[in-house]
Amino acid sequence: MDVYNRFGTGIHPPFGNLLHLEAFRPICGRLDVSGLRPGHKSCKRLSLQDETHTLYNDGHAFAGEAPVLTKPHLRTEMKKALSAMPAGAAGAKSRRACQMLVDLDEFRSAGAIMLYMPIPGEIDCMPAILAAWQQAKTVLVPKVGLEQGQMMAVRCDSTDDEMVTGSYGIREPARSEPWPVENIDLIVVPALGYDRKGNRLGRGGGFYDHFLAQQGMRAVTCGLAFAEQVAEEVPTTANDWPVDIIVTDKEVLRFPNDVNGLRQS
């Protein structure tokens, strides 16, 4: 059978319909399948007679197991896919996702909302920031201190304020004091990907995981992403923090994650 069809009938590719086998060419080093000689380089159209065969991360094919990708591989492939999204499409999707975010009861009732200054490949949340200001809410954004290696929430009253390019090329207010985490009502969390259980695939720095794990944190957490960034499952570790809600340009997903219980354990 065709691997393309296999991914479409019961085994989900890492990021829904966004990626297909062509994206895995860099990691298909060699194949070892009956009928194909060892060292075979082509994985564009791998036809398998036995439906139980599966293509592994390193290119080997074995029987009876589903494909598993590591976080680094998923990050690489997601970055490639997001960079290929046309700017016009990304802008339209961002506006739809922000409208769905603003319509949430959690957004309407929040007094202090932590959003983020977008970078390429992320939902542009500026429409949501503007809506929060119009509703007289306190807007917070992340600020990373390289010396401390930690992320904090700081107040942002206007993009006309003195802004600087901080760590990782992200804009942040030049002068602002840390906002107490216990006074944050809603945190909008960016990511490279999410799954349909609320798990998050970050960029590898662990800043949001450490930030969300702080004692006193009571905020509702909401992932904001393109629909194409939502996978059936992403790999997790004990240090990864799930979100309560995911908002995309197509849907709102809610999860029964007992995040506050995890903080107290």
Nearest to 241 by CA among 265, 231, 106, 116: 265
What pLDDT, on a 0 to 100 scale, did the predictor assign at position 255?
95
Judgement on whether residues 94 and 139 belong to the same structural domain of the protein: yes
Exposed (0-12), middle (13-18) or buried (19+): which is 148, by Cβ within 10 Å?
Answer: exposed
Checking DSSP bridges between strand 245-247 and strand 53-55, what pairing results, if any? unpaired
Judge whether 74 lies within some domain: no
Judgement on whether residues 203 and 143 belong to the same structural domain of the protein: yes
Return mean pLDDT, the chain: 75
124's tokens: 């542009």
Judgement on whether residues 100 and 19 belong to the same structural domain of the protein: no
Judge whether 225 lies within some domain: yes
Judge whether 129 lies within some domain: yes
What pLDDT, on a 0 to 100 scale, did the predictor assign at position 63?
42
Judge whether 127 lies within some domain: yes
Judgement on whether residues 132 and 45 belong to the same structural domain of the protein: no
pLDDT tens per residue across span 208-228? 999 999 999 999 999 999 999
- Of 42, 69, 96, which closes a domain? 69
Judgement on whether residues 42 and 165 belong to the same structural domain of the protein: no
55's tokens: 């293509």
pLDDT tens per residue across span 79-138? 888 989 999 999 999 999 999 999 999 999 999 999 999 988 899 999 999 999 999 999
The SS3 call for residue 262 is helix
Answering whether pTM is above 0.75, one says: no
* Total number of domains constituting the chain: 2
Q: Could you list the residue range(s) of the whole structural domain that residue 53 is in?
A: 3-69
